[in-house]
Structure 1
């Protein structure tokens, strides 16, 4: 237990400084326009969420691409299951080879969640220490006490549902937990209903997605009532960001063969009609676009060379050929 605690301390120490620093920057910024300390710190937590999620955008893009590739590869995965179903080791090797050849990482979809978990628990520990008047990172003891005892919507940011002693905390924590559960469910449902082709709605991957659809809300519901208001606010804000970000990506860059892809094509047609194009012209434009996407890249023409440069290149090529063949006879 001591080794585990030391490892967590080694990981958490830089996070304490990073999270407390971001919180203080946002709190000082909101202090200029909002007099209420409770709202300053609550909005600072939202600002922390925005900062963290903005930094994780590259990983989110990888997550979306990986999820899309996983969906599109499901018909091939099922073919492998039919072919190697009797040999699990061979099936696993062939499946991993398929993912590797297509540039798909099955674990990429978990990275944003896994990277946020240490931040979530560090924020939880920071609030726990702050409620005792102990600062962490850049938070002084005085600032930590102010952070934990700030009243927001009738509740302290360090209050928990399980230890609440007044109704306002029950209502606020209950509302935030329900919002956290709803946003988790809707985000997963949005992905399955809008950005998964029919072929991907069956099989092992689809079953995993359906399991997450119902298991994650239950996990958050059970765990949410034990967390302080501040940490629930962070997680709910993060879920709202995820839902909005995913909506934007699915709407503007959907996977082929999905309802979102069909909806985007209809929107594109409507835009072309507004420009005065007829249905025939629209069909021609779409065919040209599809043909352009399939057209191979143009071959790059060699640069003009002088006679001496061509002679030198020919001599070098001949020498390389001779060395490759083991020398002239």
Structure 2
């Protein structure tokens, strides 16, 4: 059994009751709009559940910014001292400063915990769109998704080129929307809220190109993933845009361009 399978089954357990609820309210169970609402609902539920990790990440970024001057001074003091005693004292001082500012040695853990959820949701949507039942999403729901369309384009369809220009316009439009939302988030809210002065030149350059690379990756992937997954990417990117804008405006990282611009440095 794949490590992602339990998570995929849990996510299927979120989508199925939402679909049944919309069906009970009179929505067409095989309608594309019904399934788009299901996808949007699961994005909202997952992202709300992950908000504590977002809060932790913001607090960690602020703690790291507060500790940065002391850590830089410490690194300068021990720059050319490689004897065992100096190395030991350097490590102890770093630990003391980190503890003083509440920095966690597991700083990347919140992001790492989110990755299995994103991969599992990708796998769930891909499997169901391919006609494979997953957990609570049994044969009937899979058939319903397989019959659902958006402007005549099946949500289970893949690729830019299918049944004529309408298919191309729908798929390309959705991929472009997801890419644009991602670019705006990265370029105007995430990048200005990141302190890069202490990063190596290669890492800083990669960070600068990240908005373009992410948007380009979504455009390329748009040609091979199901239309239903493109809908998920749009909803998820829209949430990320709003979340990133809120952090940029009200909780910018001290020392970042965002903090200087909003007057919260």
Same fold (TM over 0.5): yes
Quote the residue 2:33 is aligned against.
39
Post-superposition shift, 1:115? 3.7
Summarize the Cα distance change of 1:49–1:82 in structure 2 as closer, same or farther, 3 Å threshold: same
Quote the residue 2:154 is aligned against.
156
Structure 1 regions of 5+ residues with no counterpart?
1-5, 267-329
Summarize the Cα distance change of 1:240–1:84 in structure 2 as closer, same or farther, 3 Å threshold: farther
The runs of at least 4 aligned residues of structure 1 exceeding 6 Å deviation read none
Aligned mates of 2:113, 2:61 — CA distance in 1: 13
Post-superposition shift, 1:151? 0.6
Tell whether 2:182 aligns with 1:188. Answer: no
Tell whether 2:17 aligns with 1:25. Answer: yes
Aligned ranges 1:12-161 → 2 under 5 Å: 12-31=4-23, 32=25, 34-35=27-28, 37-85=31-79, 90=87, 93=91, 97=95, 98-99=97-98, 101-105=100-104, 106-108=107-109, 110-111=111-112, 113-130=114-131, 134-161=132-159
C-alpha RMSD of matched pairs (Å): 3.3
**SS across alignment from 1:67:** helix
Whether the 8 Å contact between 2:160 and 2:171 is mirrored in structure 1 is no
Give the paired residue count: 251
Aligned mates of 1:99, 1:224 — CA distance in 2: 42
Quote the residue 2:247 is aligned against.
249
Aligned mates of 2:245, 2:53 — CA distance in 1: 16
Aligned mates of 1:53, 1:214 — CA distance in 2: 24
Aligned mates of 2:80, 2:230 — CA distance in 1: 46
**TM-score, scaled to structure 1:** 0.64
Aligned mates of 2:93, 2:167 — CA distance in 1: 50
Whether the 8 Å contact between 2:130 and 2:156 is mirrored in structure 1 is no
Aligned mates of 2:8, 2:121 — CA distance in 1: 11
Structure 2 regions of 5+ residues with no counterpart?
none
Post-superposition shift, 1:47? 0.6
Whether the 8 Å contact between 1:16 and 1:126 is mirrored in structure 2 is no
Whether the 8 Å contact between 1:63 and 1:111 is mirrored in structure 2 is no
**SS across alignment from 2:4:** helix
- Give the number of the structure whose alpha-carbon radius of gyration is greater: 1
Quote the residue 1:219 is aligned against.
217
Summarize the Cα distance change of 1:16–1:259 in structure 2 as closer, same or farther, 3 Å threshold: closer
Aligned ranges 1:275-314 → 2 under 5 Å: none
Q: Which has the higher contact order (CA 8 A, sep 6+)?
A: 2
Post-superposition shift, 1:21? 2.2
Summarize the Cα distance change of 1:96–1:175 in structure 2 as closer, same or farther, 3 Å threshold: farther
Aligned mates of 1:39, 1:116 — CA distance in 2: 24
Quote the residue 1:202 is aligned against.
197
Aligned mates of 2:212, 2:100 — CA distance in 1: 32
Quote the residue 1:298 is aligned against.
none
Q: Which moved more, 1:54-63 or 1:139-148?
A: 139-148
